[in-house]
Structure 1
Amino acid sequence: MSHQSGDKPQSAIARFIDALEENIIAGILGAMTLITFFNVVLRYVFNQSFIWGLEVVLILFAWLVLLGISYGFKKNTHLGVDAVTNMLPERGKRIMAILAALACVIYAALLMKGAWDYWAPFAALQPTEGRWFPTGFTENTRDRAFYMTDQVPMLEMFRWLEDAINYGDTYDKLPRVVPYFILPFGCGLILLRVVQATIRIIKGEQLSLIVSHEAEDDVERVAAELNTAGLNKE
């Protein structure tokens, strides 16, 4: 079994960040469930509905996916296929793990560039130049700060965006810059966690970017402990 970052004693800050991420992910999943449940009840019992319900659930799902991907890299819980690499000697496994991790770093960097370039105009910012990797920022790109969501009501806490990016014009609905913020933020977290995991692999603290058979090993270990505890009671 590879040594995970979670096996080491964590600082108070690290534990706080872990708890914060877990609670945010759980909160998003809970909010999606509640909104969907209440919408179903309203529709079939009262012939009413939250008109913004579906759009909010779709937005929350995007946040859930991107935050979950980054957290999975952080905790090394992503699944993968290792049937071929398991046939290699230990040195070969390590080389393949490093190459795979470096490929993921490149992919995550490309993903981050694409995420920024898509989100930036909605924030009245400039996307980057360069087809693959950023070589600077473009000029005179038409901003999309005035774009709004279809049905999500405007929240008062975001009124400051009207003066900051929309030239003082009011928003009738929530501007897209808010829900789309998960693109650069989530992809930035993914890039950070993949780089951190790659460093752990190079240092020998982690075997690969996938959980492999470690989950099975943990299940077998817990089952053995339970069986032992049962025998001791008898």
Structure 2
Amino acid sequence: MSGSHRHEPTSGMGRFIDTVEETLIAYTLGIMTVLTFVNVARRYLFNASLIWGLEVVLMLFAWMVLLGISYGVKKTTHLGVDAVTNLLPRGPRRALAIIAAFICVFYAVLLMKGAWDYWAPFAGLDVTSGRWFPTGFTPTRSRAFMETDQVPMPFFLNFLSDLINDGDAYGKLPDVVPYTMLPIGCALLLLRFVQATVRILRGTQDTLIVSHEAEDAVEDAAQKMGN
């Protein structure tokens, strides 16, 4: 099978992780759909709304995007232009794929640093020092007290007040909760780029972008109809 096709896990753990990621993305999309439907129905039928519904939908949308980016890299489903690279011989084409992969890893490292530095104050943690790469940690003003506008504080997250907010109770959901997906999503993106780079170096994957599976499917269907 050509390395340009989607990477599929061969181990049980890999398939389990696939299932977890796909389930999280599906449930996130499902909850967004239900909340939006309920809000629209309440607004037009009862002249009322879930005051926190839109804010939660925006949070979940951001979570789904961050999860989906890394999942797309993992499955090589991101779009790209390969009209020029496909004209090159296999050797130069592979060299360009390796260069692109290393650039993506470098970019993901920068994103990871930026994501941590943005999220850390909301968790009462220190940001990293260094302009491009982390060279250590440096103290910063805590923003752990900051809350969302309308989202109620779930009772099972009350431990956060003692953990990061010096015991001060939250009236609304703290910002650290929705922002936590930022470093998680960037860490997953970095991991997937590293894994894709390793597969390209080993020759089991040709590119980081979506393969021509649609064209292959049409050709297979045409051949079956011809037979």
Question: For the superposition of Structure 1 and Structure 2, which TM-score range results when normalised by the shorter chain?
Answer: over 0.9
**How many residue pairs were aligned?**
225
Find the aligned partners of 1:219 and 1:109 in 2 and give their Cα distance.
38
Structure 2: distance between partners of 1:142 and 1:44: 44
- Give the drift of 1:29: 0.6
Cα distance in 1, alignment partners of residues 108 and 142 from structure 2 = 25
Counterpart residue type for residue 149 of structure 2: D
Identify the residue that residue 7 of structure 2 maps to in structure 1: 5
The alignment's TM-score, normalised by the length of structure 2, stands at 0.95
Write the deviation string for residues 99-138 of structure 1: whole angstroms up to 9, x where unpaired. Answer: 0000000000000000000000000000101111111101
- Superposition RMSD in Å: 1.4
Q: Secondary structure at the match of 1:5?
A: coil
Aligned ranges 1:76-91 → 2 under 5 Å: 76-91=76-91
Structure 1 distance, partners of 2:99, 2:162, is 47
- CA distance in 1 between counterparts of 2:165 and 2:187 reads 25
Gaps of 5+ in 1: none
Structure 1 position 88, deviation (Å): 1.1
Could you tell me which runs of 5 or more consecutive residues in structure 2 were left unpaired when the two chains were aligned. Answer: none
Deviations 1:152-188 (A, max 9, x none): 1101111110000001100010001011000000000
Aligned to 2:138, the other structure's residue is in SS state: coil
Runs of 4+ in 1 over 4 A off after TM superposition: none
Mapping 1:124-203, distance limit 5 Å: 124-139=124-139, 141-203=140-202
Do 2:124 and 2:143's aligned partners in 1 also have CA atoms closer than 8 Å?
yes
CA distance in 2, matches of 1:225, 1:184: 47
**2:94 aligned partner:** 94
Look up the match of 1:227: 225
Task: Give the distance between the partners of 1:206 and 1:127, measured in 2 at CA.
Answer: 36
- TM-score, normalised on structure 1? 0.92
Task: Tell me what 2:116 maps to.
Answer: 116
Is the CA contact (8 Å cut-off) linking 2:113 and 2:134 kept in structure 1? yes
**Amino acid aligned to 1:137:** F
